[in-house]
A and B are shown apart, each in its own frame.
Chain A
Amino acid sequence: MHRIRRVGVILFVGGTLAGAAAAATSGTNLALVAYSTPKSAYSQLIPAFQKTAAGKDVTFSQSYGGSGTQSQLVLRGLKADVAMFSLYPDMQRLVKPGIIAANWNKDKYHGMVTDSVVAFSVRPGNPKHIKSWNDLTKPGVEVITPNPFTSGGARWNVMAAYGAQLKAGKSSKQGYDYLVKLFKNVSVQDKSARESLNTFASGKGDVLIGYENEAIFAKKNGVQLQYIVPSSTILIENPLAAAKSAPSQAKAFVKWLKTPAAQKIWAENGYRPVVPSVLKHAKFSKPAKLFKIGYVGGWNVVSKKWFDRQNGLMLKVEQQAQGG
């Protein structure tokens, strides 16, 4: 009798403890959907967040891919409590269906969480002596960039190239012609920025146009390259927002990612912080002719004019460049 009772007590206590443990570990799960490059940054940011009071008992599921792709998937029902994309349109597109609140970009950073610039990655020693945009259109130079219709990074690349021409005093027609010349030299177009980095790292191409933060990431991972920030380039601004229907921890996470502590981690991963105090202490170059997307018309105009899937100018560029 006693033994049975003792077993019973043990089971009861054990069960309660197990139940309590289960309850303790059944916190909130946040679905993070992001573009292709921040994965390694989040591998440090998420644990850091989980150490804060707001991040206790928060677990994450993560999905990464081309910015346009990911945005499309969210439209199609991919659950996203926290979304980070490469560029503003990919976030803005989620407002109309009611996934993201319309005021997502009304904080002091206009909804952005990190910055970067478009940079050139070249082989060690820069054998083809690539310094500026004009070097990319020289004959025999193989350029790698992703496909602008699936990759956000590629859109930044195109606008950086175009804007640099305008900055140099060229007309918009000349800017267009430059893009045709540039894409004549493009030998591979991957789906996302990360994939194009892979292609470059696997030995293909002389120069990779891409995010500065990707070049830094690659170097950290032992890829043999050096990167150059051209004097005329665009400031890449990456939007971040919590979904309307997301738990409160999502908004807390978004807020935390813009705190100096988090911004330091972003900087360590090669991203330019949006918080000025952190940016000051990080060691990033200052391109002489840095411009923003507003210089070429702003994303609302640019998306339609250049990257519309039926009528965008970029389609014509591709066609002319590849001799289609």
Chain B
Amino acid sequence: MVTGYLSVIVLLPLAALVWEAHKGGLSGFWKTITAPEAVAAIELTLVVSVVVALINAIAGTAIAWVLVRDKFAGKSFVNTLIDLPFALPTIVAGLTLLALYGPVSPVGINVAFTRISVVMALLFVTLPFVVRTVQPVLTELDREMEQAAASLGANRFAIFRRVVFPNLLPAILSGVALAFARAVGEFGSVVLISGNLPFKTEVASVYIFSQVESDDPGGAAAVSVLLLVISFIALLAIGAVRRYATRHDAE
């Protein structure tokens, strides 16, 4: 039953996709994915997703730290707020970012239709990932080690770097992997604010969309498959790094 459901819902459409991508043969596939506009879109998507993942690694950890270790009024409200990007439709997110940081911005910040706007939209939708993977680990962390290190004279920075961070790294990497995968495929929040300028601000998902809506579903499928493969490889790589980082835990 499970396999039947999965097949109908996921496998069959994907098989159709892959088939369509190869309809032009391997050379057709290659030609499509090396088309300059496609390359530019994929490049932009990957670069921006990496940037976003890195920012999230830092910001997400910092936010998780503040939420776990710090105490201030309204903390539980802020904690709830973190999940907002999960709950809010991407098109609404895009609309509001456009209203706030676009041409009619009330705060005078206008980054709409630039690459910065793409980064911003992606930061919005990927915010919860690192925060939510780091929080539980941070909560469980045994503070004795840190206290021991402190009593041995280590300063706070050293404590973080050598005691806390290695323990957080696997969780951070998990969150980064999720954020990256999410960013690569994101559409709704980016499509309104980025301007979709080919070769400048057109991300892969928008390029695929325009391929679907012009005369080239095969091209769209080809780029989709490529994107899928890249995401897959990235996820595998991050998983490997994570396993390497946790290799000592098994002892």
Contact = CB atoms under 8 A, between A and B. Distances in A.
A and B touch in the complex (CB under 8 A): yes
Interface of A: 65-66, 68-69, 72, 147, 149-150, 186-191, 199, 202-204, 309-310, 315, 318-319, 322-324
Given A68-B215, A309-B215, A309-B216, A322 B200 contact: yes
Nearest to B112: A204
A45 B58 CA distance: 57
Given A191-B210, A191-B213, A324 B197 contact: no
B40 interface: yes
Interface stretch (B29-37, B70-78, B123-131): B29-37
Interface in B96-136: 98, 102-104, 112-113
Contacts of B198: 147, 189, 318, 322, 324
Contacts of B65: none
B214 A309 contact: yes
Nearest to B194: A188
Contacts of A202: 98, 102-104
Interface string B33-76: 00111001000000000000000000000000000000000000
Nearest to A71: B215
A147 B210 contact: yes
B214 A324 contact: no
A318 B195 contact: no
Nearest to A187: B113
A7 to B, nearest CB: 50
A322 B215 contact: no
B210 A149 contact: yes
Q: Is the interface of B mostly helix, strand, loop or mixed?
A: loop
B224 interface: no
Interface string B198-235: 11100000000111111110010000000000000000
10 closest Cβ pairs, A-B complex = A203-B103, A322-B199, A324-B199, A188-B195, A69-B213, A149-B214, A309-B216, A150-B213, A319-B36, A324-B40
Nearest to B212: A72
Interface of B: 31-32, 35-37, 40, 98, 102-104, 112-113, 195-200, 209-216, 219
A188 B206 CA distance: 13
Given A191-B213, A202-B104, A309-B215, A319 B197 contact: no
Given A69-B214, A191-B196, A203-B103, 5 more contacts: A72-B215, A188-B195, A199-B195, A310-B216, A318-B198
Contacts of A323: 199
Nearest to A202: B103
Question: Which of B104, B112, B195: most chain A CB closer than 10 A?
Answer: B195
Contacts of A319: 36-37, 199
Contact of A188 (B196, B211, B214): B196
A68 B215 CA distance: 8
Contacts of A199: 113, 195
A296 B102 CA distance: 38
A101 B215 CA distance: 21
B240 to A, nearest CB: 33
Question: Which of B104, B197, B212: most chain A CB closer than 10 A?
Answer: B197
25 contacts: A65-B213, A68-B214, A72-B215, A147-B210, A149-B210, A149-B214, A150-B210, A150-B213, A150-B214, A186-B197, A187-B195, A187-B197, A189-B195, A190-B195, A191-B196, A191-B209, A202-B98, A204-B113, A310-B32, A310-B35, A319-B37, A322-B197, A322-B200, A323-B199, A324-B199
Contacts of A72: 212-215
B104 A315 contact: no
Nearest to A316: B36
A66 B213 CA distance: 8
Given A188-B197, A204-B112, A309-B216, A318 B37 contact: yes
Contact of B37 (A187, A204, A315): A315
A310 B216 CA distance: 9
A203 B104 contact: yes
Contacts of A203: 102-104
Contacts of A190: 195-196
A123 B37 CA distance: 32
Contacts of A322: 40, 197-200
A311 to B, nearest CB: 10
A68 B200 CA distance: 22
A324 B216 CA distance: 21
A188 B104 CA distance: 16
Contacts of A187: 113, 195, 197
Contacts of A188: 113, 195-197
Given A68-B214, A204-B112, A309-B219, A147 B200 contact: no
